[in-house]
Amino acid sequence: MSVYQATASAPVNIACIKYWGKRDTKLILPTNSSLSVTLDQDHLRSTTTSRADPSFKTDRLWLNGKEEEIKDVGRLSTCIKEMKRLRREVEDKNPNEPKLSTYGVHIASKNNFPTAAGLASSASGFAALVSSLAALYKLPATPSELSLISRQGSGSACRSLFGGYVAWEMGSASDGSDSLAIEVAPQSHWPDIHALICVVSDDKKGTSSTSGMQRTVETSPLLQHRIKHVVPERMEAIKKAILARDFDSFARITMQDSNQFHAVCLDTDPPIFYMNDVSRTIIAIITEYNRVSVENGGKLKAAYTYDAGPNAVIYAPKENLKEIISLIIKYFPQADAFKDPFNLFGAQGVGSGAIVPGFNEAVAKQFPVGSVKNLIHTRVGDGPRVLPAEEALLASSGLPKDLA
């Protein structure tokens, strides 16, 4: 008997121009376009196996070995239904194709990093789900077409269908058919961009992105200004910066947009706070690091950005990562020795960190060990990958191999 099964992995993305606000909450249509960098799946990824079988009575999904309910009108069921609809089109065109769209589907997924902790697990998760079903159903769909579906799982997930530098064009159609992700530039265009994720907290956050952004839409006058007068120009400017590999402009826009996103959170009634003292101190350190460079006739060397949580993501050209990691470790001592996957520090390691020449040490105080729990050094990466059968997460029984 044939086994119909496919496994795919998908990356996390972290936005430089933030998506915050929906004009349609069911279809997940945003109030502004956004733009992100896809991070390397060698470090952070979701992996998903999907199997269709006539013996499966219902669709089921396990996340990290634990079964999740697929609610009737929920986001998961919408994505699965949409993928089955596309499969039906394939079957209608070619009657020899097995009728997988009529079978139940079992889906097992795992994240190799904390779930629901502000590390964009919903983005990689829904992108991996859609990619594994597209491989299972042998869909001829392009990544942009698939992004229309992962968008309905979680808005930011549409951008994880591509590697490199990705825009989510907000579109204007009321059915959402033009609200999709496009590639601005592939990873190979500007592979030199690295990212340092400073994990300040991996707890579940207080205000979810979904509910927080709706409250902002309903109450923030500043959001209206942002949507109309700020984001459209920033989108054009950052695309230009990426195409020209102009880090100075890229960094300036990224930091401005993170700041404005947190300003609209503060402008929300009641206000939403995602950053904490540690987050703000990292801003002060990066600001001082850039000041030293600019005052010596140089350019911006790093850009911070924060999503709906206190964790910092610092983007920088690879050559600056050694200094940046040393600075962060100086102010935020680590419990365990930092191991760099790119081996920037050689055999002696980073030690207790270091201040760069000319840097005003007094911009921040040293925090206790554990204030930044973990540092993840990664870089711009590629889009979803279809994986070989050995990587499958489902056993022959049709249940997850790592059933919790």
Ligand X SMILES: Nc1ncnc2c1ncn2[C@@H]1O[C@H](COP(=O)(O)OP(=O)(O)OP(=O)(O)O)[C@@H](O)[C@H]1O
Ligand Y SMILES: C[C@@](O)(CCOP(=O)(O)OP(=O)(O)O)CC(=O)O
- Does position 209 interact with ligand Y (CB under 6 A)? The reply is yes
For ligand X, what does the binding mask look like between residues 143 and 162, x meaning CB under 6 A? -------------x------
The option from ligand X, ligand Y, none interacting with 163 (CB < 5 to 8 A, set by class) reads none
Q: Which of 121, 131, 279, 305 binds ligand X (CB under 6 A)?
A: 121
| Position closest to ligand Y via CB | 155
How far apart are the C-alpha atoms of 22 and 15, rounded to whole Å?
A: 16
Contact status, residue 150 vs residue 127, Cβ threshold 8 Å:
yes
CA dihedral 273, 279, 285, 289 (to 10 degrees): -80
The option from ligand Y, ligand X, none interacting with 332 (CB < 5 to 8 A, set by class) reads none
Backbone angles phi, psi at 387, to 5 degrees: -105, 155
- Does position 155 interact with ligand Y (CB under 6 A)? The reply is yes
Residues 321 to 350: which contact ligand X by CB under 6 A?
Answer: none
The option from ligand X, ligand Y, none interacting with 18 (CB < 5 to 8 A, set by class) reads ligand Y
168: nearest Cα among 105, 81, 238, 108: 238
How far apart are the C-alpha atoms of 108 and 208, rounded to whole Å?
A: 24
- C-beta of 308 vs 394, nearer to ligand Y: 308
Shortest Cβ distance from residue 207 to ligand Y (Å)? 11
Contact status, residue 49 vs residue 103, Cβ threshold 8 Å:
no
- C-beta of 279 vs 326, nearer to ligand X: 279
- Does position 154 interact with ligand Y (CB under 6 A)? The reply is yes
The option from ligand Y, ligand X, none interacting with 155 (CB < 5 to 8 A, set by class) reads ligand Y
DSSP-assigned letters across all residues of 144-186: HHHHHHHTTT-GGGGGGGSSSEEEEE----TT-TT-EEEEEE-
Contact status, residue 23 vs residue 368, Cβ threshold 8 Å:
no
Q: Which of 183, 257, 307, 323 binds ligand Y (CB under 6 A)?
A: 307
For residue 270, whether the previous peptide bond is cis, meaning omega lies within 30 degrees of 0, is yes
- Does position 28 interact with ligand Y (CB under 6 A)? The reply is yes
The Cα angle at residue 234 between residues 231 and 235, in degrees rounded to 5: 85
- Does position 34 interact with ligand Y (CB under 6 A)? The reply is yes
Residues 156 to 195: which contact ligand X by CB under 6 A?
Answer: 156
- Both tokens of 329, joined, read 């470790």
- C-beta of 134 vs 265, nearer to ligand Y: 265
- Does position 118 interact with ligand X (CB under 6 A)? The reply is yes
Contact status, residue 77 vs residue 59, Cβ threshold 8 Å:
yes
The b/e string for 266-298 (b: 16+ C-beta within 10 A; e otherwise) is ebbeeebebbeebbebbbebbebbbeebeeeee
The option from ligand X, ligand Y, none interacting with 28 (CB < 5 to 8 A, set by class) reads ligand Y
Q: Which of 34, 109, 281, 378 binds ligand X (CB under 6 A)?
A: 109
The option from ligand X, ligand Y, none interacting with 152 (CB < 5 to 8 A, set by class) reads none
28: nearest Cα among 148, 137, 143, 195: 148
Binding-site size for ligand X (CB under 6 A) equals 21
3-state helix, strand, coil in the chain (%, to 5): 35, 20, 40
The option from ligand Y, ligand X, none interacting with 286 (CB < 5 to 8 A, set by class) reads none
Q: Which of 40, 267, 307, 323 binds ligand X (CB under 6 A)?
A: 307
Shortest Cβ distance from residue 31 to ligand X (Å)? 17
Shortest Cβ distance from residue 76 to ligand X (Å)? 7
State the DSSP code for 131.
H
- Does position 50 interact with ligand X (CB under 6 A)? The reply is no
- Does position 231 interact with ligand X (CB under 6 A)? The reply is no
- Does position 111 interact with ligand X (CB under 6 A)? The reply is yes
126: nearest Cα among 156, 157, 148: 157
Task: Give the DSSP H/E element, type plus range, for residue 134.
Answer: helix 121-136
Residue carrying structure tokens 């700041």: 259
Shortest Cβ distance from residue 19 to ligand Y (Å)? 3
Interface ranges with ligand X (CB under 6 A): 46, 63, 109, 111, 115-122, 125-126, 128-129, 156, 208-209, 307-308
Interface ranges with ligand Y (CB under 6 A): 15, 18-20, 28, 34, 122, 154-156, 209-210, 307-308
